[in-house]
Amino acid sequence: MTSPASPDAPVQSYKLRRGRMGVVRQEALAEHLGRYEVPAGTGVLDLAALFGDANPVVLEIGSGMGDATLAMARDAPDVNVLAAEVHTPGIGALLQGLVEHGVTNVRLLEGDGRTLLTERIAPGSLAGVRVYFPDPWPKARHHKRRLIGPGFVELVADRLAPGGTLHCATDWEPYAEQMVEVIGASGRFTLDPDRSRPAWRPVTRFERRGLALGHVVNDVLATVRPTARP
């Protein structure tokens, strides 16, 4: 993993999980990925050229199996979505859905969304960053691996346009408290005190699993302040 230059960057914030893919998803990857994928390279992305329009762009880090991503993209066709996921089965599932429903406002990256944010997204160019149900790393000795830390929050604040939003969701309450603390401490965001799920965010697979276990889900939304950028 290529790490950004930030205090909490050197550790990997996700665990690789293997999974099988059915024939349909394999065929979707083989036949259609070229149309939707973020092109390889090291330069800053021209987002308008990537999507073919000047609509606002939201980055989703960790799109999972893509159900929520697909639903939100269909519901808001005037918002472009960069979906980053490290697990190929998830990319295949989302791609299959995009093709089946004719959704064109999503681009896919099979890889680390934090690296994409660090190396290929220009400052002030995103309307939003979404991080839904990241690995909570519940053991105290692993807390340093959590994605939502000071360096990440500063990076997001830099990449968001004024008024852009950081939206995190977790079913691990101690992690939610850490998110609120870290985002608030940055001084660059205004936190929404309401932590209930917005009606426009679909319930995800991970969320259903957590709810079945009796977990409480927190949605942490924060808006970058217009005067926050240097």
Catalytic residue positions, numbered: 135
Which residue in the block uniquely carries the two structure tokens 């939201």? 58
Rounded to 10 degrees, what is the CA torsion of 10, 3, 127, 224?
Answer: 40
Q: What are the angstrom distances between the C-alpha of 66 and each of 97, 105, 138? A: 8, 14, 24
CB 161 within 8 A of CB 198: no
Dmax (CA) for the chain in angstroms is 50
**Secondary structure percentages of the chain, helix, strand, coil, to 5:** 40, 20, 40
Q: Check residue 37 and report its DSSP letter.
A: B
Cα–Cα distance measured from residue 193 to residue 215, given in angstroms and rounded to the nearest whole number: 20
Cα–Cα distance measured from residue 173 to residue 129, given in angstroms and rounded to the nearest whole number: 21
CA-only gyration radius of the chain, Å:
17
Length reported for the chain: 230
